Chain A
Amino acid sequence: MSKVIVYPPTSMILSDLVERMGHKALVVPERVRELVTANDVQSPPLNVTPEEPKKGLRYAAVDVPSGVRGRMALIGPLIEEAEAAIIVEDPGWLTGCAGCSRTNELVRLLIRTKGIPVLDLNYPTDDAQAKVFVQKIKLFLEGLK
């Protein structure tokens, strides 16, 4: 079983495919769930406190907007943990997004420069492409230890 990060990092479709193939999907909703179910809810709705943007300094400098650093505090540790990645280009908002384009760019960059196996895909726009899309993901995941 490998730990696989997906992009968009909020994509439940990609997360589901990874889990079905017996790997662990690294996705943001899980991290958010940890925060919102914590005993000490300090900052609803996400319970992200001003401490998160400071933790995000590990991934982006202080002159990077706080919203990017706050998001990176959640996504950055997932990238560190990842052993493989699936990146879907132009996924459309229904597939998921971080809400912030700068964060999306930084996430893709950090995944690509980590040196782990990465599957790059375009988002399918019809049934035929969707089948190929799923096939490619299946093959990629089967190839992981």
Chain B
Amino acid sequence: MIRIAQLSCGSEYSGIQKEIERAAETVGAKIVYPEVSLEDILDVEKKFGVKVASGDLNLAMARAVRIVENPDLADAVIVMTCFRCAEAAIIRSEIRKFIHERSRIPVLSYSFTERTTAETLLTRMEALVTTVKYRGLLARERQKGLTAGIDSGSTTTKSVIMRDNEVIGTGWVPTTEVLKSAEDAFEAAIKMAGIQKDEIQAVGVTGYGRFLVGKHINARLIQEEITVNSKGAVFLSDAQRGPATVIDIGGMDNKAISVQDGIPGGFTMGGICAGASGRFLELTARRLGVDITQLGKLALKGDFRNVAMNSYCIVFGTQSLVNSLSMGCKPEDVAMAACHSVAEQVYEQQLQEVEVKEPVIMVGGTSLIEGLPRAMEELLHVKVLVPKNAQYIGAVGAALLVSGLLEG
């Protein structure tokens, strides 16, 4: 059983401890609490470099020290503190860094409210467990044989066919009925690859609909999108060795993943606000009367500074864009303002919590909206890579990883 050490403040009093344990149990893990002495807590400043007023945060830091000094105590770490607590936000980030820099134990950090449920935590916990359990599989760098990957996303369903490390077929359809969309994308990829379905040696599935689709098509691998997308991103960017940062702005949530040798070391997953998702860009395109595929090119001609964005919210942010248009702003400026708004939110709310190391790779369908990687480059002051087939990242990762199971 995978042991996930919980370093937290406020989870019991927020009434969500049971949910944390339920999420861990669902993915075959167990929550553990490394024991520390009172001296460990009183000495935490010497070892950690900081001591704060809240006792539970000092306890969490002392536990982090104990894990680093005794890595056998836990297989993974989850650092959790209350949403909106400034003191906790600083310490949460420091604990993550402390463990990340001193051990190879994967760390996930999360800020919760009383509304956090096991379902909210499931993908995150699953990613932690996968990182520990399938480290060997995740280290795979080449795809072998004839395999397929399906990424059943919230907005679109993607599929690829790969043969001997090459993508030979792709399929992309909007997600409507989950199973039908998966079948349609799969069929399209098979058709493009010019192969017969029964020639495929194994199928890997990821994305929101992974359990349903995976069961339906009898997939050999059903895996969450954090580890799968990391793998797909570094594979397509030819950055499988060394550090990398993967940013995936999806239709419904965002992922920022710090990767080392193709394996996620730390990650954050957004999803609280639709204003920081691809959905906001879809709405902007619709309001501007352009196809979503043209929004990025339009944005590249614009300047976000010419538009007053008063809110990150998908409703009030759109209102700002509409107001700007009525005041005579150019559509290209509005398009860039929307891209900048999404990038800025991801930068402010997620990239602060992972180690941003080059290369920075943007993936997913939104990365093809050219204004978005450009806006991210301006914020991060680094070159952002968008690999070929970036929209198929999950499907590629799934096809690559499942090929590793053929040898087992």
**B114–A99 touching, CB < 8 Å:** no
Type the 1/0 row for A27-55, where 1 means its CB is closer than 8 Å to any CB of B.
Answer: 00000000000000011111011111110
The answer to whether B112 and A99 have CB atoms under 8 Å apart is: no
Given contacts A53-B15, A100-B55, 20 further A-B contacts (CB under 8 A): A44-B17, A46-B13, A48-B17, A49-B15, A50-B14, A50-B16, A51-B15, A52-B114, A53-B113, A64-B84, A65-B10, A66-B113, A67-B81, A70-B12, A94-B38, A99-B13, A101-B52, A101-B53, A102-B54, A102-B85
A43 near B56 with CB under 8 A, answer no
Say yes or no for B381: interface residue by CB 8 A criterion. no
B134 adjacent to chain A (CB < 8 Å): no
Among A43, A45, A66, A102, the one with the most B-chain Cβ atoms within 10 Å of its Cβ is A66
The answer to whether A48 and B84 touch (CB under 8 A), given A67-B9, A67-B10, A101-B53, is: no
Contact A100 B15 (CB under 8 A): no
Number of A-B contacts (CB under 8 A): 98
- With a cutoff of 8 Å between Cβ atoms, the chain B residues found around residue A67 in the complex are 9-11, 13-14, 81-82, 85
Contacts known (A53-B114, A65-B85); A43 close to B15, Cβ less than 8 A: yes
Docked Cα-Cα span, A42 to B17, in Å, equals: 11
A 58-73 to B, binary, CB cutoff 8 A, 1 in contact else 0: 0000011111111100
Q: Are B14 and A66 in contact (CB under 8 A)?
A: yes
Chain A residue contacts of B84, Cβ below 8 A: 63-65
5 pairs from A and B in contact (CB 8 Å cutoff): A53-B114, A66-B14, A99-B10, A99-B13, A100-B13
Closest to B16 in A: A50
Closest to B53 in A: A101
- Say whether B41 contacts A100, CB under 8 Å: no
User: Please, how many angstroms separate the alpha-carbon atoms of A138 and B201 in the complex?
Assistant: 81
* Closest chain B CB from A98 CB (angstroms): 8
> Which 6 residue pairs spanning A and B have beta carbons closest together?
A67-B10, A70-B13, A65-B82, A101-B53, A99-B56, A66-B14
Bound Cα distance from A100 to B53, whole angstroms: 8
Contact A66 B10 (CB under 8 A): yes
**CB distance A93 to B38 under 8 Å?**
yes
Does chain B have a CB within 8 A of A12? no
C-alpha spacing A99/B53, complex, angstroms: 9
B88 interface residue per 8 A CB criterion:
yes
Q: Which residue of B52, B54, B56, B112 is within 8 Å of A66 (Cβ)?
A: B112
Interface: A106 (CB within 8 A): no
The digit string for B10-51, where 1 denotes a CB below 8 A from any CB of A, is 111111111000000000000000000010011000000000
Specify which chain B residues have a CB less than 8 angstroms from the CB of A65 in the assembled complex.
10, 82-85, 88
Contacts of B88 in A (CB 8 A): 65
Q: Let me know if A118 is at the binding interface, CB within 8 A.
A: no
- A100 near B10 with CB under 8 A, answer yes
- State the CA gap A66–B16 with chains docked (Å): 10
- Tell me whether B87 is interfacial, beta carbon within 8 Å: yes
Inter-subunit contact B13/A48 (CB<8 Å): yes
A67-102 interface bits toward B, Cβ cutoff 8 Å, 1 = contact, 0 = none:
111110010000000000000000001100111111
A65-B82, A66-B82, A67-B82 are known contacts. Are A102 and B13 too (CB-CB below 8 A)? no
* B54 and A100 contacting across the interface, CB-CB below 8 Å: yes
Q: Which of A43, A45, A63 has the most CB of B within 10 A?
A: A43
Nearest CB on A from B321, distance (A): 27
- Closest approach, in angstroms, between the C-beta of B348 and any C-beta of chain A? 17
Give Cα distance in the complex from A49 to B18, angstroms: 9
Alpha-carbon separation in the docked complex, A43 to B112 (Å): 16
| Least Cβ–Cβ distance between A74 and chain B, in angstroms | 8
| Min CB–CB distance B368 → chain A (angstroms) | 37
Which chain B positions have C-beta within 8 A of A46? 12-13, 17
Chain A residues near B12 (CB-CB < 8 A): 45-46, 48, 70
For the complex, give the distance between the alpha carbons of A49 and B115 in Å.
10
Q: What residue of chain A has the Cβ atom nearest to residue B8's Cβ?
A: A67
Specify which of A52, A70, A74, A100 is in contact with B56 (CB 8 Å cutoff).
A100
Cβ distance A17 to chain B, nearest Cβ, rounded Å: 22
B42 nearest in chain A by CB position = A93
Q: Is the CB of A70 within 8 A of B38?
A: no
Closest-CB distance, A106 to chain B (whole angstroms):
13
Bound Cα distance A104, B57 (Å):
14
Over the window 117-129 of chain A, the binary record of Cβ atoms lying under 8 Å from chain B Cβ atoms (1 yes, 0 no) is 0000000000000
The distance in angstroms between the C-alpha atoms of A51 and B114, with both chains bound, is 8
Known: A64-B84, A66-B82. Is A71-B55 also a contact (CB below 8 A)? no
Which residues of chain B are near A102, meaning CB under 8 Å? 54, 85, 87
Nearest residue, chain A, Cβ from B17 = A43
Instruction: Say which residue of A53, A66, A99 sits within 8 Å of B55 (CB atoms).
Output: A99
Minimum Cβ distance to chain B for residue A47 (Å): 9
Partner of B17, one of A45, A63, A71, A104: A45
